[in-house]
Structure 1
Amino acid sequence: MDETEAAGIIIRAGQRMDRLGWVPATAGNISVRLPDGRIAITRSGGHKGFLTTTDVMVVDAEGRPEDPALRSSAETLLHCGAYRRFPTTGAVVHGHSIANTVLSRLSGDEILLSGYELLKAFPGLPTHEATVELPVFNNDQDIARLQRRVELRWNDMAENGTAIPPGYLIRGHGIYVWAPSMDVALARLEGLEFMLACELATAQAREGDVG
């Protein structure tokens, strides 16, 4: 896979995420890891449903742009963090759906997803009879500091024997998901979005019953 092919993968992913309402306005960012370890990623400010090859740029593993004249997503370091921590990761997607935004604002430090058939979309979960702890982090404009908090949480989960899911939420902001390929990343994102939409609908139904 070269840079042109990576751009095509990112463009098609953006179009799909746009069709499903997960990247309104200029929200979201998308990346692919190139075979040499560099990262192709969306430039800042572009609508993900209308990307062209000029909306995709290349950064190194630390997030530094190859072309200093180009500006990548403000959250490039979060992509780099997933690639660094999980060596098999080949793609990272970030979206802003209504469900993930609202639930992240209403939740504590995690959202527990239990009993959903779509949990089988996650690695190591061959059955729906499982619970996934989806971390939620407070938003922070200091992305390096936010990434450090993410890494500390991953370390804590690993030390406690808690499976680290291939995704997390940023409160009031959106969701990050990663996978070995873009197709799998989009499938995981779609599964998570479905489960989060179910959680939101359940919370709304319960509130209606109480009212």
Structure 2
Amino acid sequence: MTVTPQLAQLVAACHWIGQQGWAPATGGNMSVRAAEGFCLLSESGKDKGSLTAADFIAVEIASGQAPSGRKPSAETGLHTLIYRLFPEAGAVLHTHSVNSTVLSRIEKGSALRLQGYEMQKSLTGQHSHLDSVEIALFDNDQDIAALATRIRAWAQTNPLRYGFLLRGHGLTCWGKNVQEARRHLEGLEFLFNCEMQRRLLERS
């Protein structure tokens, strides 16, 4: 496999994600858009903190199939959906942090609404803490095809930017390249941490 600059950056991002504790016990999955019609997706069951370029599998975006016969992540259908929905998306990161997982369960609405935080400006297109950022929330489902259908239906009538949360599962976010996806992930995780602390303090 030719190691492109974007794949090398994705491998480095995976090691960083592992150091943050955001993909424990081989959880999570990451990908980068590759040659025309394909993405490179992390192999199932691998520790994300020690991935190498050889641990990424070429997957056809249209079908979700891996011509090599190797087993990509269980959430392959969500990665390929994002690449189909957003032609500008160049990288997708899916993590299992504590804050994203817990917030996704205690928030009962269809989106987690963030407002008043300066770090909202870490998200592309956000210019003020006065703006509102809504991160869509979907019920988790082991049937990835059914889950992808629900997310696609939502995106047809609602804005879906930066990422979404799966209840009790974690965050999936993306960007035009690895650098932007990593910035969105770090920004969102900071915001989730702030929101978690705010809610805890308000209850005390």
- Superposed, 1:154-193 pairs within 5 Å as 154-157=155-158, 163-193=159-189
Give yes or no for contact 1:132–1:165 (8 Å, CA) kept in 2: no
- TM-score under structure 1 normalisation? 0.91
- Which deviations, in whole Å up to 9, do the C-alpha atoms of 1:151-175 show, x marking residues without a partner? 1111121xxxxx4321000000010
- TM-score under structure 2 normalisation? 0.94
Residue 9 of structure 2 corresponds to residue 9 of structure 1: yes
CA distance in 2, matches of 1:122, 1:21: 22
- Which deviations, in whole Å up to 9, do the C-alpha atoms of 1:78-136 show, x marking residues without a partner? 00111111101100000011100000011122110012112222233222210011111
RMSD (CA atoms): 1.3
CA distance in 2, matches of 1:149, 1:31: 21
CA distance in 2, matches of 1:42, 1:21: 17
- Superposed, 1:120-131 pairs within 5 Å as 120-131=121-132
Give yes or no for contact 2:123–2:183 (8 Å, CA) kept in 1: no
Deviation at 1:8, TM superposition (A): 2.3
1:111 alignment counterpart: 112
CA distance in 1, matches of 2:93, 2:163: 9
**Long gaps (5+) in structure 2:** none
- Which deviations, in whole Å up to 9, do the C-alpha atoms of 1:154-211 show, x marking residues without a partner? 1121xxxxx4321000000010001011011010010000001111111111222xxx
**Long gaps (5+) in structure 1:** 158-162
Give yes or no for contact 1:122–1:165 (8 Å, CA) kept in 2: no
Aligned-pair identity (%): 38
Provide closer, same or farther for how the CA distance between residues 123 and 7 of structure 1 changes in structure 2, counting only shifts above 3 A: closer
